[in-house]
Structure 1
């Protein structure tokens, strides 16, 4: 049986949720968080505001979705210098960050 991949999903709620700040965070996700080894899938983007069913969680602004080859690649990503630079550049505008990790 193959080693399961690790899906790392992060949802950012911003203090300043202007379209410019949302786009800036998406761009920083793409610049700083898509360069580490072991990534097999990467996506980042704003919440689709057209979806407002009762089951939709709408208390966030930017979603980050990364699938790693394995948990070891995820763990290395957490300590990567570019990951830490991303946090330093953007943390001041985060009202909340929610992380959902699963084996897929």
Structure 2
């Protein structure tokens, strides 16, 4: 009988330590903007650092992006997983209009100016929530 309270205590303790100090941002299901980037030289550390720095600067200064996620492809062993890209970006917006404003804002244009020479291909998938 004493095992249940001990397990509960350990679970709560470990869960508390796993939390980050950054506040959780609410994912906005109204509009998701998913972008895949293929860098010209994906093994070039300097190119990757420059791309990441420019992308993070842009997202930090966007007035419209509600949440964002920057990722790299995981090692996957399933045929349905496309891991050919170098970076992925998922950004959420409160509306399609907010996403259009994001496209036109100065930080986004600066990101393209600073980084477009680093990539060979970009694919965008935009989705509206079905609520």
> TM-score, length-normalised on structure 1?
0.85
Q: Which runs of 5+ in 2 are unaligned?
A: 1-28
CA contact (8 A) 1:7 1:102 kept: yes
Structure 1 position 5 matched with structure 2 position 30: yes
Deviation at 1:92, TM superposition (A): 0.7
Q: Which runs of 5+ in 1 are unaligned?
A: none
More strand by share: 1
**CA deviation string 1:7-46 (max 9, x = no partner):** 0000000101025223432332221124323322111122
Q: Distance in 2 between matches of 1:73 and 1:61?
A: 27
Aligned length in residues: 100
* Bigger radius of gyration: 2
More helix by share: 2
Q: Distance in 2 between matches of 1:43 and 1:27?
A: 14
> TM-score, length-normalised on structure 2?
0.69
Q: Distance in 1 between matches of 2:50 and 2:88?
A: 13
The structure 1 residue matched to 2:65, chosen from 36, 39, 42, is 39
Look up the match of 2:122.
97
